[in-house]
Amino acid sequence: MDLTAKLTELEERYNQLEKELSNPDVFKDQKKYQALAKEHSDLGSVVRVYREFLDVNQEISENRELLNDPDPDMRELAQGELEELEARSGKLEAELKKLLLPKDPLDDKNVLLEIRAGTGGDEAALFAADLFRMYCRYAEEKDWKVEILSEHPTGIGGYKEVIAMISGDRVYSHLKYESGTHRVQRVPDTETQGRIHTSAVTVAVLPEADEVDVQIDPSELRIDVYRASGAGGQHVNKTESAVRITHIPTGLVVQCQDERSQHKNRAKAMKVLAARLLDLKKREQHDQLSAERKQMVGSGDRSERIRTYNFPQGRVTDHRIGLTLYRLEAIMQGDLDELLEAIGTYFQAQALAAGSEGQ
Contacting residues for 158 by C-beta, under 8 A, at least 6 apart: 117, 122, 124, 125, 126, 127, 128, 129
Residues 9 and 128 both lie in one domain: no
Residue 255 lies in a domain: yes
Residues 199 and 222 both lie in one domain: no
Residue 291 lies in a domain: no
Task: Give the pLDDT score at 164.
Answer: 93
Residue 255 belongs to domain with CATH number: 3.30.160.20
Q: Which of 89-103, 188-202, 204-218, 288-302 has the lowest mean pLDDT?
A: 288-302
Residues 116 and 208 both lie in one domain: yes
Residues 62 and 177 both lie in one domain: no
Residue 106 lies in a domain: no
How many helices (H) and strands (E) would you count in the chain? Answer: 10, 11
Instruction: Residue count of the chain, please give it.
Output: 359
Residues 177 and 279 both lie in one domain: no
**Bridge partners for 242 per DSSP:** 226
Question: In whole angstroms, what is the distance from residue 94 CA to residue 71 CA?
Answer: 35
Residue 104 lies in a domain: no
Q: Which domain holds residue 124?
A: 111-213+300-358
Question: Could you give the angle at the alpha carbon of 171 between the alpha carbons of 18 and 330, nearest 5°?
Answer: 125
Residues 95 and 60 both lie in one domain: yes
For 166-230, the DSSP string reads EESTTHHHHHGGG-EEEEEEE--TT-SS---EEEEEEEEEEEPPPTTT----GGGEEEEEE---S
Residues 338 and 200 both lie in one domain: yes
Q: What is the largest CA-CA distance in the chain?
A: 97
Q: Phi, psi (5° rounding) for residue 225?
A: -115, 145
Residue 46 belongs to domain with CATH number: 1.20.58
Task: Give the pLDDT score at 211.
Answer: 59
Task: Give the pLDDT score at 355.
Answer: 59
Residues 269 and 333 both lie in one domain: no
Q: Which of 9-23, 53-67, 249-263, 308-322 has the lowest mean pLDDT?
A: 249-263
Residues 7 and 81 both lie in one domain: yes
pLDDT bucket at 95, cuts 50 / 70 / 90: confident
Question: In whole angstroms, what is the distance from residue 154 CA to residue 126 CA?
Answer: 8
Question: Could you give the angle at the alpha carbon of 255 between the alpha carbons of 250 and 256, nearest 5°?
Answer: 150
Whether the full predicted model's pTM is greater than 0.85, yes or no, is no
How many domains does the chain fold into? 3
Residue 281 has pLDDT above 70, yes or no: yes
